[in-house]
Structure 1
């Protein structure tokens, strides 16, 4: 009771940060007391076993996590805890990189997961690779961790990766280049299209010739038409060849492609 009274008094002095959507719930003496009581109830309500497990994973408390999973079997699937932790750190801006203790927790969860390639509807690796990432160093760490623990890159759509992360006229980040290389090395299909585009075609179109070479080295088809009625990659390259800034870079591109570019222009 004393704890509840203390919480009520404490809540009465809090600003109306816990107000309802219209901002009026905590106004006035009665509103402050009401909000204080709500805070007290929340403070005294024990967390579920699942919430405790998720907290331990996000905080990087490996021993506590192991104990909780042992004490509460079935409270949370290791895959669900891993996915929640991966998503949490993918979008976290608090630290420049993921602390080692959190990486250790995720590695532990990955080893417990029966199928790390489970799709809902995408796999964890797809979610990391196919979406734009503000925190590219963290994505690279997470991609490396998942690949090291059995994640398959075969389902990853590299065209979506290029669309979201590789721009025209801007050098790609070292992290993006590293992620693309690792995905290719681990079996990602270089010719998997997205609607009317291919990864290789987009790279040529955007003047990213070095990455285009990387795609060719891993089996990308240079002559594939992305869709009926659309120009092929060679015509895109020919168009780029006419632009002065691309003409300076293009000789570094694959020799056969550059000759085609010169002939077409």
Structure 2
């Protein structure tokens, strides 16, 4: 591990940089860096092949001995409690914040290892909490990939990292526009099934054992016609109450685990 420095000034240029990266998507994209807080999240980032550029720790909250796992980090900095409270964004904390190098989450960089992949597609998700929940489902189901079409939110938004409990680092993710993703799926002969309210069949009456992509839209408007026209079949979860839709992450979980069930029993 590199020699540990110490910072106690809130006016330090590096601390100001952390605050900008935490709050501004534009700054994250420009610097190709983002902020991660917490031992578990950072361990998952390392496991996922991410590079930690700078590690900040507050000695009274984190044991210096536990820093041994970060021996590849370029720069390690001890900070005062005041500085740590300024750069941390969680109410409960473990005393560790880091700057991590972004990955290029393009379709060109996505490698599908399974010959019959199971993929989740989310079109234009906006709420970080929903995106985080979708990524937790993807991790739990060990999906081959999550594709985000027409993204509205920066993937490295701190709230996505927090709500995904680090699953943003454990799942292969690519972001592109709808036409690019449909072309990618067609080229690889991956069947598309769209969650939709109209012209749909019961989600249990579809065969997901072949190469499959399940697409979900926003709760407000659902999937666009471009997706519905590209769908092999539209699928629906029967609703027995007064409303006709559920939270997108809940719906995605039901559909994904039906696909998993079929694959385990086929």
TM-score, structure 2 normalization: 0.28
Q: Which has the higher strand share?
A: 2
- Considering Cα pairs closer than 8 Å and 6+ residues apart, tell me whether 1 or 2 has the greater RCO: 2
Flag the structure with larger Rg: 1
